[in-house]
Amino acid sequence: MLKGLQNKNFSSLIRLYETKSLSLRFLNSSYISFSFLFQNSKKRQSIMENFYFTQKNVLGISPKAQPLSSSRKPSGLNSTFSILHSKFYLLIFAFFAMVGGAWAGSSSFNESWTSVSTASSCINSTTTYTLTGTTTSNNSAVINSGATCTITFPSAYASNITCTGGTFYGTTISGTITKTTTTISFPTPVSVPKGVTLTIVLNGVTNYGSSNNYQLSMSMPNTSGGTSSWAASANSQYSLVAPPSISSHPATGGQTLCQNATATALSVTASGGGLSYQWYSNTTASNSGGTSLGVTGQSSSYTPSTASTGTLYYYCVVSGTCTPTATSNVSGAIVVNATPTITGSTPASRCNSGTVTLGATASSGTINWYAASTGGSSLGTGTSYTTPSISSTTTYYADATSGSCTTGSRTAITATVNTSPAITGQPANQSVTTAQTATFTVTATGTATLSYQWQEYNGTSWSNITNGAPYSGATTATLTITNPSISLDGRKYRCTVSNSCTPSVTSDGNATLSVSLVYCATSGLTCSFSSGPSVYYCTVTSVELGTMSNGTSATVCASDQTGVTGPSLYTNNSYTATVNIGANTGSANSIGIWIDYNRDGDYADANEFVVKTSVSGASSSNTLTISVPAGASTGQTGMRVAYLYNGTLAQGNSCTASTYGEYEDYRVTIVAQPACSGTPTPGSLVNTNPVPCATGSTTNFTLSSDETQYASGLPTNGINQLME
């Protein structure tokens, strides 16, 4: 029989014996007050007791002998109810209770894991696992004191597992974890509300499983005899990681290498989590006490350096997420021998064909000689090599071998063959005026660098030319003579060409410079020509001198003779010149002749002008006597002939006059008068030597002749006397 029910929210009825106690847990964190009324049917004793508690308070209630005073409660919250004990039934307010170790309330309690705190752990290590789950059912539960639950570990665990304790929803737990099951004892009741996040912490779990991925699950009994569980899921997955382990070690077979060659890589094969590698070298065959190679980011393989000579051994230490590290066996000996190098070379040269001896030195080993930079057979060995006879520059190559090591590339060493100079083109004659430039060029072959030296011949000897007016290029292949003076006329030039080989070679010396003088231009005289009854011929029609008889145009009213080459004239001799003019009406005409005896480029010096005046214009032929001074400069020089109508020419008219007439220019050659030698044979009618004897040189001889005629070809000044 139920009495005094003042709250209709009670949802469950359980029996309460006098010897039992009652445990309660409320869901909110506020203070709650309530009252229990116990009525004992035997003693008919009513007991009233008032309580207050917070969310995590766990209260035990037992019958009291007397009522207790009411407790304080927060405003707005009133959960007062009465418990009628006469039928040993008790109404409980809106939550589950576990009495005597059984679930009270709903028969299902389904939850799931949302995470596991430790994603990975090392095998054979002790780890604390914290699993977090959220209740997904609409029911609450209370785990009573002494109740147990089961946590299942993966069956792959190799042996028993121990757990030193932990907590479940704030309650300390303890128990023994076997290979597959963890039995947890709850020393005090645990109230599990609905819709909350729960955690279970397992301390001191020893991971005896092998390296793999695993999942945890948890189950508890309920009032219906089944179990409620947090099932295994991806969110409860964790990994067991093995420490590093090396299954394949560096090769123990040694390597013998040449310096800077490429060694075969050493390698290890290792397993475990988060592996890293550190290689070491050692001077002894030991895998401890070596020198770290000090390279970050090393891999499971390493190629030994061959930059330095010597013998080294190598090993690798592998580290991982879990300890201990693993150390490989030591490798075989890596022996690096020195590679010899060519440390010096001695090229050589010679002139023209023949053998050449070359030289080379090496850091070690034997020097080998070759004809090519790669391949081919050795021509010889040693620090020197004598070539066969060669006629042109040839390159040879040397390397060195020490043991099995040879220099990486061969060194080129040149045998140079120089050729002596040879002239292939002779300088040519040059003819210029004093206002022009002459160039003489020689062409030569021979090994560079060729040297040149020009020389001139002054009529007596050869001498070297140096640069300075008028010369330039005196030591090049081309000699330049700028504005040469008339004194250089007739000079000869040659060039000597040399190089490192002997002998030098010289051009033939026949190149001759001819220099002609440049005289002032003529002006002022013009010709007058008419075909009518009154005819004026103001032109020179011919000039005769020595061997020259030069007819000129009578109908050209301008100077029509410019630089005509005339005869040779001997010094200290006189010559007759005949000048013919065109017929004209003039009666006071004049004819003048200028000769530049000192070859200074003008006609202004004494004795350089002769004139004939009062020349009739009746087509006359006029003679003038030319006397060549004994001191006249030899060589070609200028001669100018002028005719002036009705006027008298003076020496100063060599360049200009007025108004009618004509100028004509010629070239004559002044030759030194030779001395007579020898005695003519008496009785000769004709002297075959046309050159008269020089003044002061007397030769007496007898000619057969009449008393009134000179011998043919002998001017009067060349004969002292005529004898019968």
Higher pLDDT, 237 or 713: 237
Give how far Cα 219 sits from Cα of 5, 103, 113, 192, 537, Å: 37, 13, 12, 14, 158
Asked if pLDDT for residue 662 goes beyond 70, the answer is: yes
**Can you give the pLDDT at residue 659?**
81
| pLDDT for residue 584 | 75
| Burial profile 130-149: b = 16 or more Cβ within 10 angstroms, e = fewer | ebbbebeeebbbbbbbebeb
> Over pLDDT 90: what percentage of the chain?
44
Which residue, chain included where needed, has tokens 């190679």? 293
Q: How confident is the model at residue 155 (pLDDT cuts 50, 70, 90)?
A: low
Region 670-692: what's the mean pLDDT? Answer: 67
> Minimal CA–CA distance to 64: which of 92, 83, 87?
83
Helix (H, G, I), strand (E, B) or coil at 486: helix
437-487 pLDDT tens trace: 999 999 999 998 999 999 999 999 999 999 999 999 999 999 999 999 988
Could you tell me if 35 and 7 are in contact, meaning their C-beta atoms sit under 8 angstroms apart? no
Of 101-115, 156-170, 510-524, minimum mean pLDDT range: 101-115
Confidence of residue 35 (pLDDT cuts 50, 70, 90): very low
* Across 657-676, average pLDDT: 88
Long-range Cβ contacts of 553-562 (<8 Å, 24+ apart):
554/582, 555/529, 556/527, 557/526, 557/527, 557/528, 557/529, 557/662, 558/526, 558/527, 558/662, 559/522, 559/662, 559/663, 559/664, 559/665, 560/662, 560/664, 561/641, 561/664, 561/665, 561/666, 562/664, 562/665
Q: Please state, in angstroms and rounded to a whole number, the distance separating the CA atoms of residues 393 and 418.
A: 8
The end-to-end CA distance of the chain, in Å, is 214
The separation between CA 698 and the C-alpha centre of its own chain, rounded to angstroms, equals 92
Q: What is the pLDDT of residues 378-401, one digit of tens each?
A: 999 999 999 999 999 999 999 999
Q: Which has more confidence, 39 or 585?
A: 585
Q: What does the alpha-carbon distance between residue 215 and residue 153 come to, in Å, rounded to a whole number?
A: 7
Share of the chain above pLDDT 70, in %: 63
pLDDT tier, 554 (very low <50, low <70, confident <90, very high otherwise): low
Sequence length of the chain is 724
Token pair of 209 as six digits: 């499983």
Could you tell me which residue, 249 or 68, shows the higher pLDDT? 249
What is the distance between the alpha carbons of residues 612 and 219, in angstroms, rounded to a whole number? 162
Residues in CB range of 656: below 8 A, 6 or more apart: 522, 523, 524
Nearest Cα neighbor of 485 from 601, 619, 645, 328 is 601
Q: What is the mean pLDDT of residues 144-157?
A: 59
C-alpha–C-alpha distance, residues 262 and 279, integer Å: 18
CA angle 512, 515, 521 (to 5 degrees): 160
Cα 216 from Cα 112, distance rounded (Å)? 11
pLDDT on residue 26 = 35
The whole-number pLDDT of residue 104 equals 33
Across the range 137-142, mean pLDDT stands at 57
Cis bond upstream, residue 659 (ω within 30): yes
**DSSP conformational letter for 650:** -
- The pLDDT of residue 229: 58
For residue 615, the model assigns a pLDDT of: 87
What are the structure tokens assigned to 649, written together? 């020419």
CA-based nearest residue to 149, from 103, 214, 206: 103
Q: Are 684 and 712 in contact (CB under 8 A)?
A: no
Tell me the per-residue pLDDT of 307-319, one tens digit each, with 9 for 90 and over: 999 999 999 999 9
Pairwise pLDDT comparison (194 vs 66), residue with the higher score: 194
Give the pLDDT mean for 223-250. 73
Confidence at residue 86, expressed as pLDDT on a 0 to 100 scale: 28
> pLDDT tens digits for 497-506?
999 999 999 9
Nearest to 313, CA basis, from 362, 272, 271, 279 = 279
pTM of the model: 0.48
Higher pLDDT, 430 or 191: 430
CA 585, CA 577: separation in Å to the nearest integer? 23
Question: Strand pairing partners for 293?
Answer: none
Query: Stretch 616-639: mean pLDDT, rounded?
Result: 88
Q: Per-residue pLDDT tens for 296-309?
A: 779 999 999 999 99
Average confidence score pLDDT of the chain: 75
Tokens of 580: 């013919």
Q: What is the mean pLDDT of residues 42-65?
A: 34
Amino acid at 410: R
Tokens read off for 604: 């202004």
285: closest CA among 306, 313, 307?
313
Q: Is the pLDDT of residue 281 over 70?
A: yes
pLDDT score of 351 more than 50: yes
What integer pLDDT is reported at residue 607 of this predicted model?
93
Q: Any residues with CB less than 8 A from the CB of 219 and at least 6 apart, and which?
A: 149, 150, 152, 227, 228, 229, 230
* The predicted structure's pLDDT at residue 162: 60
Which stretches does DSSP call E strand in 650-698? 661-671
Q: Tell me how many helices (H) and strands (E) the chain has.
A: 0, 59
CA distance 576 to 589: 20
| Residue-level pLDDT at 238 | 77
pLDDT in tens, 366-375: 999 999 999 9
CB 510 within 8 A of CB 493: no
Q: What is the pLDDT of residue 573?
A: 95
pLDDT-derived band at 33 (thresholds 50, 70, 90) equals very low
Average of pLDDT values for 689-707? 51
Which has more confidence, 75 or 511? Answer: 511
Report how far residue 555's alpha carbon sits from residue 558's, in angstroms, rounded to the nearest whole number: 9
Residue 249: pLDDT band (50, 70, 90) is very high
Instruction: State mean pLDDT over 130-150.
Output: 61
Instruction: Name, in order, each residue with C-beta under 8 angstroms of 291's C-beta and a sequence gap of 6 or more.
Output: 280, 281, 282
Instruction: Strand 621-628: give its sheet, edge to edge.
Output: 548-551, 540-545, 573-581, 621-628
Residues near 152 by beta carbon (within 8 Å), at least 6 away in sequence: 180, 181, 182, 216, 217, 218, 219, 232
Q: Please check the confidence at residue 228 and state whether its pLDDT lies above 90.
A: no
- Angstrom CA distances, 493 to 335, 368, 430, 450, stand at 75, 54, 10, 19
What integer is the mean pLDDT of 422-450?
A: 95
Residues whose CB is less than 8 angstroms from the CB of residue 567 and which lie 6 or more positions away in sequence, other chains included: 545, 546, 547, 548, 668, 669
pLDDT exceeds 80 at position 639: yes
Is the predicted pLDDT of residue 82 greater than 90, yes or no?
no
Coil, helix or strand at residue 505? strand
Q: Which two tokens stand for residue 586?
A: 């003039």
The pLDDT assigned to 696 comes to 57
Residue 569, pLDDT above cutoff 50: yes
For the cut 60, the answer to whether the pLDDT of residue 102 exceeds it is no
